[in-house]
């Protein structure tokens, strides 16, 4: 059957995450609902590159699915968008080889976490609003520890799917942009809640709640019961998936 890849953008605020859940609104569920309307009521399974949590956003989530008939990709993209709500959009659609799978074919994923220094009535939906006293240089010191192949067991929610806590980190940094400080991390894979635990713990260091040495020791302990802090979902974006 013809195999298709789509690039998806969504505002995760009103979703219970990516993965299909009974009686709850999810991104996978919304897109599969749109596909069902194009296939005379039959379910089409949508595979996602990453299972984003409730409240997490995406600018470049990737998905793949198979259809029984051949579609013009622009027409397929338009048909899907015509059956989706405004908080989820298909940005691109392409025919791909049968062997392509949105999750298992991916080689890199890039996430960004947006923190805003100071309060905002609008930005609170897409960032974590922090006191202006948070020290950016301490965030950068923490990020410098997170390059190469690292075991992140201390900074992930335990899952039977992730018996191996190692990730190969290609880039990891904090940057300032106006009122925002932005954490960027690109790796071959990500553990459950990894970015949110890292950001939450780094912010704790920036506010003086823990030291750089405490952060380093937690990382090196590889302890699934380690005390870490979790950042809110609102600031996290899946920006890009590479193949």
Catalytic residue set:
53
> Could you give the C-alpha distances from 138 to 29, 116, 174, 204, 240, in angstroms and in order?
40, 16, 10, 10, 27
Coil, helix or strand for 140? helix
Cβ atoms of 239 and 59 within 8 Å: the answer is yes
Neighbours of 159 (CB within 10 A): 11
Decide if 3 contacts 73 (C-beta within 8 A).
no
CB 67 within 8 A of CB 39: yes
CA 183 from centroid of its chain's CA atoms: 13
DSSP classification of residue 106: -
Beta strands in 34-179 (DSSP E): 47-48, 57-66, 88-96, 108-117, 128-130, 148-151, 166-177
């Amino acid at each position: 059957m013809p195999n298709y890849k789509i690039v998806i953008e969504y505002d995760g605020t009103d979703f219970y995450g990516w993965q299909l859940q009974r009686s709850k609104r999810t991104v996978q569920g919304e897109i599969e609902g749109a596909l069902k309307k194009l296939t005379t009521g039959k379910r089409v399974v949508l595979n996602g590159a990453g299972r984003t949590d409730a409240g997490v956003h995406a600018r470049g989530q990737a998905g793949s699915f198979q259809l029984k008939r051949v579609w013009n990709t622009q027409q397929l993209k338009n048909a899907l968008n015509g059956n989706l709500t405004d908080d989820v959009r298909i940005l691109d659609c392409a025919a791909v080889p049968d062997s392509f799978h949105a999750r298992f074919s991916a080689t890199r994923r890039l996430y960004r976490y947006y923190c805003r220094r100071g309060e905002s009535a609008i930005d609170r939906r897409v960032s974590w609003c922090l006191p202006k006293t948070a020290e950016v240089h301490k965030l950068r010191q923490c990020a410098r520890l997170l390059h190469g192949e690292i075991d992140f067991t201390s900074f992930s929610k335990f899952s039977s799917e992730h018996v191996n806590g190692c990730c190969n980190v290609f880039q990891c940094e904090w940057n300032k942009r106006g009122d925002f400080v932005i954490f960027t991390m690109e790796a071959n894979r990500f553990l459950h809640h990894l970015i949110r635990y890292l950001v939450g713990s780094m912010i704790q260091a920036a506010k003086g709640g823990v030291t750089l040495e405490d952060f380093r020791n937690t990382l090196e302990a590889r302890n699934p019961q380690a005390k870490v802090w979790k950042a809110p979902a609102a600031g996290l974006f899946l920006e890009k998936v590479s193949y």
